[in-house]
Amino acid sequence: MNQSNQIFTEPLDCIGVLRKSLSIMKNNALKFICLMLLFYVPMLVLALAIIQNSPANLDDSPFQGANLLMLLITILLDFTFMAVTVITAKNCLQNIPISIGNILRQACVKLLSIVVTSLLFGVLFGLLMAFGMLLGMVLPVTVIIPLTMLACLYFLIRFCFFLPPILWNDRFIGLSDSWRLTKNNFWWLVGLSILDWIIIGIVAIIVLLPLMMISPISYQDILSNPLAMTTDFVIINIIIALINGITNIFSLIVYTVAYFNLHVRNEAAGRTSAICV
């Protein structure tokens, strides 16, 4: 039997995916938070170190020398966190015992593939933006901006599921798998994404915005004078980072549930999509 059918007996609608994701997060909150802290604590330390080590002159780039190295380490930690969260969500879906060591090993083995595919993803969007700028020379701005945004959204949706094939289908580049999987599912994924963004937006408005407003000093003040960093500033920004981490976990769980649900949707519609988990 296909592994996807062992998770879902029938396709879920957008609300069903969100409910399933909330259930996974609620029932495994401690596991996800522990994994988040494992990555977010060093990322926070590196971020504060970058701010402290930034040049006083705002015209100079803060990403030089040691700061550039710390930024690269932070990016690698973030990629690994994404992979670890997706693997954990899949294990929760399939009721597989969670071993942090095994999950970290699975994620780290695939890290090079994730980085290379992400770079290709970024290059694609760079080319889209460049093409949009060229078209801007002959078309009105009111036309080219919506067209460019729609093109970026289309390719973002079609290529975004590159991570699961890398993790479980032994692909080095997972873009083609994502393209096949999302065929005829574009608008369903747009609807799911909008609902996910609404939930994240509500959290941002209710929780994050007030915290940012009560921050005693701004990032610009810190960059111009790192010694001005206060304890209140550090505490508030740690809280903001942790809340962002929790919302990222939720979005990655939605992403994982949607991945398996897409296979069931394709099977129900008579389309085939290889899955190996």
Q: Is the pLDDT of residue 213 over 80?
A: no
Say how far apart CA 166 and CA 187 lie, in whole Å: 24
pLDDT at 272 exceeding the cut of 70: no
Q: If you average pLDDT over residues 25-34, what whole number do you get?
A: 92
Mean pLDDT of 128-148: 80
Task: Give the model's pLDDT for residue 194.
Answer: 94
Higher per-residue confidence, 65 vs 173? 173
Q: What is the Cα gyration radius of the chain?
A: 21
Least confident of 72-81, 102-111, 201-210: 201-210
What is the rounded average pLDDT of the residues 151-158?
90
d(CA 48, CA 230): 12
One-letter amino acid at 210 equals: P
Asked if residue 54 lies in contact with residue 226, where contact means CB atoms within 8 angstroms, the answer is yes
pLDDT over threshold 70, residue 185:
yes
Q: Which residue has the higher pLDDT, 3 or 211?
A: 211
How far apart CA 80 and CA 132 sit, in angstroms, is 32
Amino acid at site 203 = V
pLDDT of residue 260: 93
Token look-up 């289908």 returns 169
Which residue is associated with the tokens 């495994």?
28
Q: Record the pTM.
A: 0.84
88-131 pLDDT per residue, tens: 999 999 888 888 889 999 999 999 999 999 999 888 888 888 88
Least confident of 78-82, 124-128, 257-261: 124-128
For residue 128, the Cα-to-chain-centroid distance in whole angstroms is 21
- As a whole number, mean pLDDT of residues 151-162 equals 91
- Residues 46-72: pLDDT tens digits? 877 776 666 555 455 555 656 677 778
Higher-confidence residue of 240 and 177: namely 177
Cβ(208)–Cβ(244) below 8 Å: yes
